[in-house]
Amino acid sequence: MAIRVPGVRLGVAQAGIKKSAKDDLILIELAPGSVVAGVFTQNAFCAAPVQLARAHQAKTQGKICYWLINTGNANAGTGEAGMLAAQRSCTELAALTETDETGVMPFSTGVIGEPLPIERLCDALPVAIEDLCEDGWERAAAAILTTDTRAKLASREIKVFGKTVTLAGMAKGAGMICPNMATMLAYVTTDAHVDVLLLQTLTQRAIDASFNRITVDGDTSTNDAAVVAATGVAAVEITANNADVLADFETALTDLCLELAQGIVRDGEGATKFVEVAIDGGKTAEECDRVAYTIAHSPLVKTALFASDPNWGRLLAAIGRAGLSELDVEKVTIRINDVLIAEGGARAASYTEEAGVAAMAPTDLRVQIDLGRGAASSVVWTTDFSYDYVKINAEYRT
């Protein structure tokens, strides 16, 4: 069944920003009364559209009418001209739709450092406006892709006092925390009515548990953004006053973000494995994260995963250099897909190479480390490092 969120319409156009004749302009219209929350890249070289999107969101206190997205050009590293181009896209769209330019949040993804062809973008705006419709999700989700190989779309429904609330979203990204050509963008909407401050809190928590827990290569894009809109069209209110409803909504939102985030990892550049790195038994969640990311970013661990090699020595070495003070290596255990591989600072007595090879064979792997020094835990999702990762990133601009 086609995805629809009451109060949300989507349109696409070919602006000629991408070299090939593909949709490269996406417009998402949010019904009057919608509010938007968002999380943006921490990179100091934050792209012009991200700066402007954040400013407009702040200025309107989240009362946003349009998300305007172009692919094929990141409009990052483009100096003052880049900011003028981003502003121009907002004023043109506002004029065409008789709205205020501060109601437009612009987003760009593509090559860094090339001037955005703003005339072509503006010329295509009427086409995108004309194309707006409630069932435009599939085409929009296809149009925002760059090095991605497949669209990431997800939806959820919850019942609140007999009424249906819908959540739906799409994402793009094939390297997360990620490359100049594979910026992570996520657009999530709901027809529930949510106060903008509560929505920002729920959004931050959902993203912390999903998009902020995936990594392909440890690189943070200049253009990353994840935004959530609540149109209120369903006439169902989500408030802190009704804890059960709030919990249902938050679960659906987090779950949807997690599906999109894991979709990005599964579509990671050159990925042949989907890897969950789960750390238990830490003193704090922070130290569990440190171990998880050290493993998830280790090129040696990632190449071993590509080779389906149960090379626990590399896992052990990664744990050992994560910088945990007074780590008792004797208490650390390593499991892969539930096979105990190492304990007591050495290979487990019960371990056999056959069992290890069998554990590494599936596409989906769970690397589970118990640090044996506390009750905290954390989990991140990542991929392996393959020949194709090198190929995709070495050949991208050629």
Give the residue numbers annotated as catalytic, written as ranges: 183
In three-state secondary structure terms, 115 is coil
Whether 12 and 131 have beta carbons less than 8 Å apart is answered as: yes
Both tokens assigned to 91: 């004023």
Please report how many Cα atoms fall inside a 13 Å half-sphere around the Cα of residue 226, on the Cβ side. Answer: 31
Please return the burial class of 287, using the count of CB atoms within 10 Å of its CB with bins 0-12, 13-18 and 19+: buried
Of 306 and 381, which has the nearer Cβ to a second copy?
306
Q: Which residues contact 398 (CB under 8 A, 6 or more apart)?
A: none
Q: Amino acid identity, residue 326?
A: E
Both tokens assigned to 350: 């019960």
Whether 110 and 78 have beta carbons less than 8 Å apart is answered as: no
Work out how close the CB of 158 gets to a second copy at its nearest, in angstroms, rounded to a whole number. Answer: 36
Cα–Cα distance between 174 and 149 in angstroms, integer? Answer: 8
In three-state secondary structure terms, 358 is helix
In three-state secondary structure terms, 315 is helix
Work out how close the CB of 309 gets to a second copy at its nearest, in angstroms, rounded to a whole number. Answer: 6
Of 59 and 387, which has the nearer Cβ to a second copy?
387
Work out how close the CB of 45 gets to a second copy at its nearest, in angstroms, rounded to a whole number. Answer: 3
Nearest to 134 by CA among 156, 96, 166: 166
Both tokens assigned to 397: 């601009």
Work out how close the CB of 369 gets to a second copy at its nearest, in angstroms, rounded to a whole number. Answer: 12
Work out how close the CB of 310 gets to a second copy at its nearest, in angstroms, rounded to a whole number. Answer: 9
Of 46 and 142, which has the nearer Cβ to a second copy?
46
Of 375 and 394, which has the nearer Cβ to a second copy?
394
Both tokens assigned to 144: 């925002």
Residues that bind a second copy (CB under 8 A): 42-46, 74, 76-79, 81-82, 111-113, 175, 179-180, 217-222, 297-300, 303-304, 306-307, 309, 311-314, 316-321, 324, 327, 329, 342, 344-347, 385-387, 389-391, 393-398
Measured between its terminal Cα atoms, the distance across the chain in Å is: 39
Nearest to 369 by CA among 340, 349, 347, 348: 340
Look at the block and give the residue holding tokens 């450092």.
113
Of 43 and 212, which has the nearer Cβ to a second copy?
43
Q: Amino acid identity, residue 334?
A: I
| C-alpha 83, offset from chain centre | 24
Of 131 and 384, which has the nearer Cβ to a second copy?
384
Whether 184 and 19 have beta carbons less than 8 Å apart is answered as: no
Of 34 and 180, which has the nearer Cβ to a second copy?
180
Both tokens assigned to 342: 């190492």
Work out how close the CB of 42 gets to a second copy at its nearest, in angstroms, rounded to a whole number. Answer: 7
Nearest to 300 by CA among 282, 321, 279: 321
Work out how close the CB of 313 gets to a second copy at its nearest, in angstroms, rounded to a whole number. Answer: 3
